[in-house]
């Protein structure tokens, strides 16, 4: 696994800038960084090939789309890998986290209404190998994971 020290200041600035907004053209971003667009393209391609940059997509506000019921489902399982593999394929599951602590994994779910939310939790409970779940309803999103911008410069 790579270490933050494996990347120079320019790579770190590119990552920080792309975390803030990846909508600009290479020419615009290169101008902000005071480098040639070809240099930026080469650096971005290198970061992509190393798996640092894994794609580009719009940041969606799911509440504004009508997904009013979101939750974190703590899952206690016998065959954790099998359970995780099955749960990740449920359409309402936004993320599955392999964790330490009381539960074996946590699924973040997003549903349009209370009925769909209830059905999704029951569907997770019905997965073979799930012993029990403990669900927390998300009341408000204070900071979304997509808002995370790593502090790369200043850490060495």
CATH code, domain carrying 42: 1.10.10
Task: Identify whether residues 77 and 116 lie together within a single domain.
Answer: yes
| Rounded distance between C-alpha atoms, residue 151 and residue 148, angstroms | 9
**Residue segments in the chain with a per-residue pLDDT below the cut of 50:** 155-156
Does any domain span residue 156? no
3-state secondary structure at position 43: helix
d(CA 111, CA 89) in angstroms, rounded, equals 15
Residues 41 and 75 in one domain: no
Asked if residue 31 belongs to a domain, the reply is: yes
For residue 154, the model assigns a pLDDT of 61
Please indicate, yes or no, whether residues 88 and 127 belong to a single structural domain of this protein: yes
Is the same domain home to 74 and 99? yes
Q: What is the helix (H) or strand (E) element at residue 38, kind and residue range?
A: helix 37-49
Residue 82 in domain: yes
Domain count, the chain: 2
Same domain flag for 72 and 40:
no
Domain of 128, CATH number, reads: 3.30.70.920
Residues 33 and 94 in one domain: no
Query: Is residue 43 domain-shared with residue 92, that is, in the same domain?
Result: no
In this prediction the pTM is: 0.77
* C-beta separation of 74 from 53 below 8 A: no
Q: Residue 76's domain spans which residues?
A: 63-138
Is there a domain that residue 41 lies in? yes
Residues 103 and 76 occupy one common structural domain: yes
Angle between helices 26-33 and 9-20 (to 10 degrees): 130
């Amino acid at each position: 696994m790579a270490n933050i020290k494996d990347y120079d200041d320019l790579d770190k600035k590119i990552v920080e800038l792309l975390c803030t907004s990846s909508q600009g053209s290479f020419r615009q971003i290169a101008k902000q960084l005071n480098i040639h667009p070809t240099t930026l393209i080469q650096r971005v391609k290198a970061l992509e090939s190393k798996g640092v940059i894994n794609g580009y997509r719009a940041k969606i506000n799911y509440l504004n789309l009508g997904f009013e019921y979101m939750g974190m489902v703590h899952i206690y399982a016998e065959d954790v890998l099998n359970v995780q593999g099955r749960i990740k394929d449920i359409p309402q599951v936004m993320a599955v986290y392999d964790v330490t602590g009381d539960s074996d994994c946590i699924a973040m779910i997003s549903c349009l209404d209370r009925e769909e939310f209830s059905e999704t939790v029951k569907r997770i409970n019905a997965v073979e190998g799930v012993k029990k779940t403990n669900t927390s309803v998300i009341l408000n999103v204070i900071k979304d994971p997509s808002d995370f911008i790593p502090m790369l410069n200043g850490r060495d």
